[in-house]
A and B are shown apart, each in its own frame.
Chain A
């Protein structure tokens, strides 16, 4: 849940990047970290294994500017994508305000994408959230690869509700900021409703 601090006039929100192993969640954060100016970002933390696979989470605090005198801060988290880290994934979803699902566009990863979305729905449910009701966007990553599945196919499979979606090539930054902006907007719109 967002944290509204009237004392320091700040609002803090939590965004979680979810998706199957090696889909590019950490790469999204790394690109944002590398391309955001110094004043707007904090230190990026990666709790990873020696082979740079996410073990627990990556964390990146960002400030986006002010709305009506309130500083808006977003805390970006990734989950470990590998199937056997499910216990850790559940923990990171606690208190989430919005979710970005990063799908791996490669045909070979179709099943992993579907499994991961189902896993996301289940784990959110355990925390009392409904994927159909919270701010949620989908990013189709690795669009530059020759074995990328057609967009229509991915949409049919992963996005039956038609939430906002973006095509991306995360290491080059294509679609990365667009995705972030979309989820941040949805979260702020949700706050406006005052739920």
Chain B
């Protein structure tokens, strides 16, 4: 079973900063991070007209399906996927086995540049997530929902 995913403001700022730099240095249009269950963690770039929730869910589905394929042929996982389109391309990579980094780029960039920048950003992101996981495991870092009452839950459904 995967551990509970938690995101704090401090780490979120750090992650966003790494993604923003990656987008800039790789000349990418959009960079986003998704957890393997399909939840969007962060997104930067021209995301206004993009359905990032769907994108996150489909990316995770894609990784899950290719992961299934990998296992069938005796591989642990395929850590990088690349989808080439007429205008835009998708570079998808798995970071530290737990989160998915997606870079959308067009002809202003190149696969080589994206791969190079992604590698550097991956190391940094991996460190941040390592720290985050340790923080989550500290006792006392309980769920903010520990104090909710049954009434709170009922109120959610009273229209």
Q: Interface size on B (CB < 8 Å)?
A: 42
Pair B152/A67 contact, Cβ less than 8 Å: yes
> A59 CA to B60 CA in the complex, in Å?
12
Complex CA distance for A6 and B154, rounded to whole angstroms = 23
Contact of B51 among A12, A42, A70 (CB under 8 A): A42
User: Which residues of A are found within 8 Å of B36, using beta-carbon distances?
Assistant: 94-95
List of A residues within 8 angstroms of B75 by Cβ: none
**CB <8 Å contact, B4 and A2:** yes
8 Å CB interface, A98-138 against B? 127-129
A1 B156 Cβ-Cβ under 8 A:
no
CB distance from B38 to the nearest CB of A (A): 6
B150: chain A residues at CB < 8 Å are 189
Q: How far is the CA of A174 from the CA of B110 in the complex (A)?
A: 53
What total count of A-B pairs have CB within 8 Å?
130
A91/B61 in contact, CB under 8 A? yes
Interface stretch among B7-15, B17-25, B89-97, B123-131? Answer: B7-15
Which residues of the partner chain B approach A191 to less than 8 Å between Cβ atoms?
Answer: 143, 145
Contact of A192 with B by CB under 8 A: yes
Least distance between B152 CB and chain A CB atoms (Å): 5
- In the complex, the answer to whether B1 meets A11 with C-beta atoms within 8 Å is no
Bound Cα distance A4, B147 (Å): 15
Distance to closest chain B CB from A114 (angstroms): 26
Q: Which residue of A lies closest to B16 (CB)?
A: A7
The smallest beta-carbon distance between B51 and chain A, in angstroms, is: 5
Per-residue CB contact flags for chain B residues 120-145 toward chain A (1 = under 8 Å, else 0) read 00000000000000000000001111
Complex CA distance for A6 and B41, rounded to whole angstroms = 11
Q: Flag whether A27 is at the interface (Cβ < 8 A).
A: no
Contacts of A129 in B (CB 8 A): 1
Interface, chain A (partner B; CB < 8 A): 1-8, 11-12, 14, 42-43, 45, 47, 56-57, 59, 61, 64-68, 70, 72, 75, 87-88, 90-92, 94-95, 127-129, 181, 184-185, 188-189, 191-194
Sort A-B residue pairs by CB-CB distance and give the 8 closest, nearest first: A95-B37, A7-B12, A128-B1, A91-B64, A194-B143, A3-B5, A3-B39, A191-B145
6 intermolecular pairs with C-beta atoms under 8 Å apart = A3-B39, A14-B38, A42-B54, A56-B65, A185-B157, A189-B150
